Amino acid sequence: MIVHVKGIAVMGPGIEHWDALRSHLLTGTPLAPDVQPRPQGSILPGTERRRASTTVKMAVDVAQAALRQSGLKAEDAAVVFASANGDTNTIHQICEALATPERMVSPTRFHNSVHNAAAGYWSIASGSMQPSSSLAAWTGTFAAALVEAAAQCIGDDIPVILAVFDTPFPEPLAACAPGHQPFALALVLDRQPENSLAALRLAVAPDTGLPASAMADPELEPLRCDSSASRSLPLLAAIAAGSTGDDLIFDYVEGLQLRVGLAG
């Protein structure tokens, strides 16, 4: 499968936006160690913005930023939202509530806890009636989401906004789940090559035992290993460099790997 990237957005520790990460990757510009994601959810109407969690706001923020860069319209694009664990703080709060004698769970927390909450908020804010998918595949979430988005883009001949996001669980669940840093990225994919930032060639292949692609950058390699969303960093680095070298390898589902190259 070959798809074209029309927009990119990223948010994470030390990474305020795509331009900051790209500058670091290309020129060594230091990352901002004190910068932590501060999602705003500015696309959301006031009522939804007050109800939305930090996880939801982070997801819609990167989706909005990537779409803005692409120049496409939300009403013309399908969406694929993906997260290994969903809205971690909300899940933690519900577990705390269920551990009390009263076992009272607020309706707002409940509706934020479902895995398609972020995609639902996006649909409300953007007014889009296009297809929406939400998925999780543990540490293979980024690869699974990229395959899903590319397949929809090619099969339905429609631009697709892909947003992958992870936030850490509070303790005690933090000890049982990957991810200790918030991280989110978004790509806008399209079949059409005009005004694209890169062309991606995707292939699902049997797991040969080769390890997933790593970051040569010592600052970013620990972050890459932290969550399912941050496993996207080698692809972002390749796009920044315009690399058309060896295919990148990403962990997918058991027995399979995803290989991604930049098409020349």
Residue-wise pLDDT for 119-148, tens only, equals: 999 999 998 999 999 999 999 999 999 999
Q: DSSP class of residue 15?
A: B
> What one-letter code names the amino acid at 221?
E
The better pLDDT of the pair 30, 34 is held by 30
Residue-level pLDDT at 260: 97
Confidence band, pLDDT 50/70/90 cuts, at residue 36: confident
Tell me the average pLDDT across 148-173. 95
Tell me the average pLDDT across 110-126. 90
Task: Select the highest-mean-pLDDT range: 34-38, 84-88, 107-111, 243-247.
Answer: 84-88
> What are the tokens at 238?
């390749």
Tell me the average pLDDT across 99-112. 84
Beta-sheet strands, E only, within 73-124: 78-82
Where are the chain's structural domains?
A: 2-199
Please give the Cα distance from 95 to 103 (Å, whole number): 9
Class of domain 2-199: alpha beta
Residue-level pLDDT at 264: 67
Please give the Cα distance from 147 to 143 (Å, whole number): 6
CB atoms within 10 A of CB 108: 13
